[in-house]
């Protein structure tokens, strides 16, 4: 497999071929995913919940993300690796540059930031200095206390229109990728069609340019509960490699997510 780049991800969108993405936190799973053909690996701050046992993502530190990024890069040297910037690690432009640097040095191809308009100067500053950015709209887990829980976003017309405007603004500021989480399928489709850059969905229906899942949800091993938008592919296949292959196949063929996984 050739090294995956932003240019290749853009070509996949232009060709109408779905992009597959998964979270990973260590070399072994990263290698498994990359060898199976997963294009994008995210070191998510979800590690706070699935690895550390917290109830949300807020306690995760930049140093922890950097550590897991190094592990993932070692296992998947050719994959496109995105590192989440943790809670309050990019409250100012200066903070963002300072904290994005160790993530890129650890092997990330891109950093991911949650939020809308307030991020525009930060995205511009990072990209001008050679740090590619992935945006994240919809349910942004770092804002869970503002939302009052893990709730679907953009349900009413005004909120939906605002999210489309924010997505376009993030792209214009320099974001080269966008994740949309827990939003109605129709809104995700609108955003995907409005943007030139690839849009990766999680709980956002099948009309986005690609899909991402937390690996623990895909394998049915998350403590607590499996979100409505996820699917236990291991239960269906009985073997981890086959579960990953089935996920890739179902995303590429537009069979996942189905209506039962969408809002």
Asked if residue 252 belongs to a known ligand binding site, the reply is no
User: Under a CB-based contact definition with an 8 Å cutoff, are residues 190 and 209 in contact?
Assistant: no
Asked if residue 262 belongs to a known ligand binding site, the reply is no
Asked if residue 35 belongs to a known ligand binding site, the reply is no
Asked if residue 230 belongs to a known ligand binding site, the reply is no
Task: Determine which helix (DSSP H) or strand (DSSP E) holds 103, and give its type and residue range.
Answer: helix 93-105
User: Under a CB-based contact definition with an 8 Å cutoff, are residues 9 and 3 in contact?
Assistant: no
User: Under a CB-based contact definition with an 8 Å cutoff, are residues 120 and 173 in contact?
Assistant: yes
Selecting among 157, 181, 207, 236, the annotated active-site residue is: 181
Rounded Cα distance, 120 and 116, in Å = 7
Residue 32 token pair: 């498994």
* C-alpha radius of gyration, the chain, whole number: 17
Rounded Cα distance, 5 and 12, in Å = 11
Q: What are the C-alpha distances in Å from 193 to residues 19, 187, 237?
A: 15, 10, 33
Beta bridge partners of 177: 134
Instruction: Determine whether 236 is an active site residue.
Output: no
User: Under a CB-based contact definition with an 8 Å cutoff, are residues 113 and 119 in contact?
Assistant: yes
Asked if residue 260 belongs to a known ligand binding site, the reply is no
Annotated binding site for 3-methyl-2-oxobutanoate: 45-46, 84, 112
Annotated binding site for Mg(2+): 45, 84, 114
Annotated binding site: 45-46, 84, 112, 114
Known catalytic residues?
A: 181
């Amino acid at each position: 497999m050739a090294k995956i780049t932003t240019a290749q991800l853009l070509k996949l969108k232009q060709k109408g071929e779905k992009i597959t993405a998964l979270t990973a936190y260590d070399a072994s799973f990263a290698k498994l995913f990359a060898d199976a053909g997963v294009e994008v690996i995210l070191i998510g701050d979800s590690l706070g919940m699935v690895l550390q046992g917290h109830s949300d993502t807020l306690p995760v530190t930049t140093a922890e993300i950097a550590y897991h990024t190094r592990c993932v890069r070692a296992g998947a040297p050719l994959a496109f690796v995105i590192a989440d910037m943790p809670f309050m690690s990019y409250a100012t432009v200066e903070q963002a540059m300072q904290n994005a640097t160790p993530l890129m040095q650890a092997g990330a191809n891109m950093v991911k930031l949650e939020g809308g308009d307030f991020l525009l100067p930060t995205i511009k500053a990072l990209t001008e200095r050679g740090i590619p950015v992935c945006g994240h709209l919809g349910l942004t887990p770092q804002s869970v206390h503002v939302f009052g829980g893990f709730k679907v976003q953009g349900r009413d017309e005004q909120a939906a229109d605002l999210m489309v405007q924010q997505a376009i603004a993030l792209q214009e500021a320099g974001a080269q990728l966008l994740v949309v989480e827990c939003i109605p399928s129709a809104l995700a489709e609108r955003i995907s069609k409005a943007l030139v850059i690839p849009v990766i969905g999680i709980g956002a229906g099948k009309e986005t340019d690609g899909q991402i899942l937390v690996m623990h949800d895909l394998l049915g091993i998350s403590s607590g509960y499996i979100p409505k938008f996820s699917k236990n592919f291991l239960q269906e296949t009985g073997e981890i490699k086959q579960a990953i292959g089935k996920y890739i196949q179902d995303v590429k063929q537009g069979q996942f997510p189905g209506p039962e996984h969408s809002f």
